[in-house]
Amino acid sequence: SNMGELHVRSVLVTGANRGIGLGLVRHFLGMPKPPQWVFAACRDPKGQRAQELQNLVSKHSNLVIIPLEVTDPASIKAAAARVAEHLGTSGLNLLINNAGIAKPNLLDNETLEDMTQIYTTNTIGPLLLGQAFLPLLKKAAQGSPGSALSCSKAAIINMSSSAGSIEELYVWDHAEVVSYRCSKAALNMLTKCQSLSYQKHGILCVALHPGWVQTDMGGSGSRKPPLTVDASVQGMLKVLSSLSEKETGTFLNWEGKVVPW
């Protein structure tokens, strides 16, 4: 299947002001049949770091920037209410939990504060977002004909990392990043739990490894990451267009290959 086959009426991307999040927003807007609504969520929409998003808004009437701090339950509820207002009677097809943070800590200098901050953002954030957007995802699933699961019906995509794969321990020699790895291993379990709990509502849930991508987060250090944002995002959108029931609750990479837990 090609990328053009991913038809979603509405999508929300968290951490949308830069890196992979911004790349996803750009690609959704550039589709032959773009979504009717692209919700780009970020912490500080008016700030310097969201300038590129602001530039896109002036060109695309279907793009809405949503202020969202994923560590703040009140902010999450407000974001869901704001999205619901825009959607009116229709639901949200696709929630992409992309917002994430990492600190380049070695095992020996991990702290309670860093572990807590990173777990709160990378694991608890997606949990609370799934809860807050569940009514809108359910509504989208109910409004979509047939029982087959797909991203154009209703889906939660959790941006994970094979750095959180206990078997692969991706690029350990390059970066221990213990708190980040723990948070992503936990996010993988959350994805599995969401897939089991939300399947009855017609919602597909997948953990996705975007590859090691040239972003502010991925690009610090001596080795240059192998993947561009564009290549990663194109691959992931192709994967999303092909997902069905049998992939719900799985951990896949940007090429659609299974990543071991």
Strands (E), the chain: 10-14, 37-42, 63-67, 94-97, 155-159, 204-209, 251-253
259 inside domain:
no
Report yes or no on 23 lying in a domain. Answer: yes
pLDDT tens per residue across span 141-197: 999 988 899 999 999 999 999 999 999 988 898 889 999 999 999 999 999 999 999
Q: Which domain holds residue 43?
A: 10-253
pLDDT digit string, tens, across residues 188-205: 999 999 999 999 999 999
- Output the domain CATH number for residue 211: 3.40.50.720
Percent of the chain with pLDDT over 70: 96
For residue 180, being part of any structural domain is answered with: yes
143-173 residues labelled b (16+ CB within 10 A) or e (exposed): ebeeeebbbbbbbbbbbbbbbbbeeeebbee
Longest dimension (CA), the chain: 53
> What is the per-residue pLDDT for 229?
96
Sequence-ordered list of residues with C-beta below 8 angstroms from that of 252, at least 6 positions apart, any chain:
206, 207, 208, 209, 239, 258, 259
Q: Evaluate whether residue 119 is within a structural domain.
A: yes
200 within domain boundaries = yes
What pTM does this model have?
Answer: 0.96
In a domain, 261, yes or no: no
Question: Which tokens is 215 given?
Answer: 């972003």
Q: Does 5 map to a domain?
A: no
pLDDT at 1 over 50: no
CA 215 to chain centre: 15
| Structural domains of the chain, count | 1
What average pLDDT does the segment 33-60 reach? 96
Give the pLDDT of residue 126. 98
Domain membership flag for residue 45: yes
Q: What is the pLDDT of residues 81-97, one digit of tens each?
A: 999 999 999 999 999 99
